Homo-oligomer: A and B are copies of this chain.
Amino acid sequence: MTRKILVINPNTSLSMTEDIKKSAEAARLPDTVMTYVNPPEGPESIETYLDEFLAAIGVLKIIAAERDNYDAFIIACGDDPGLFGAREITDKPVVSIGQAPMLLVPLMGRTFSILGTWCGDAPRSEDKVAKYGLLNLLASVVPSGEGVLGSHEDHAGLMDRLEEMGREAIEVNGAEVLITTCAGLAGVHSELSKRLHVPVLEGVTCAVKLAEIMVDLGLKTTRVGQYASIPQPKPLKGWPEFQHLEPFKVGKGKK
Q: Please give the residue numbers on chain A whose beta carbons come within 8 Å of chain B beta carbons, in ascending order.
A: 12, 27, 29, 40-45, 47-54, 56-57, 60, 82, 84-85, 87-89, 93, 95, 99-100, 103-104, 106-111, 119-120, 122-123, 127, 130-137, 167, 170, 174-177, 190, 193-199, 201, 205-206, 209-210, 213-214, 216-231, 234-239, 242, 250-255
Given contacts A133-B136, A196-B253, contact A225 B123 (CB under 8 A): yes
Chain multiplicity (copies): 6
* CB <8 Å contact, B133 and A131: no
Write out the residue numbers on chain B whose beta carbons fall within 8 Å of the beta carbon of A99. Answer: 106-107
- A59 CB to closest chain B CB, in angstroms? 9
Given contacts A133-B137, A195-B254, A219-B199, contact A176 B225 (CB under 8 A): yes
Given contacts A12-B237, A57-B57, A224-B170, contact A242 B50 (CB under 8 A): yes
Provide the bound-state CA to CA distance between A164 and B48, in Å. 28
Write out the residue numbers on chain B whose beta carbons fall within 8 Å of the beta carbon of A47. Answer: 229
Write out the residue numbers on chain B whose beta carbons fall within 8 Å of the beta carbon of A222. Answer: 108-109, 176-177, 197-199
* CB <8 Å contact, B213 and A197: no
- A57 CB to closest chain B CB, in angstroms? 6
Partner of A107, one of B57, B93, B177, B238: B93
* CB <8 Å contact, A107 and B95: yes
Partner of A227, one of B100, B109, B216, B239: B109
Write out the residue numbers on chain B whose beta carbons fall within 8 Å of the beta carbon of A54. Answer: 57, 236, 239, 242
* CB <8 Å contact, B197 and A223: yes
Question: What are some 27 contacts across the A-B interface (CB < 8 A)?
Answer: A41-B239, A42-B239, A43-B234, A43-B236, A44-B235, A48-B88, A48-B230, A50-B60, A50-B231, A57-B57, A104-B213, A109-B224, A110-B123, A119-B228, A131-B131, A134-B136, A175-B225, A176-B226, A193-B251, A195-B253, A195-B254, A197-B222, A197-B253, A199-B221, A209-B213, A209-B217, A210-B213
Partner of A108, one of B45, B53, B220: B220
* CB <8 Å contact, B40 and A237: yes
Provide the bound-state CA to CA distance between A99 and B108, in Å. 12
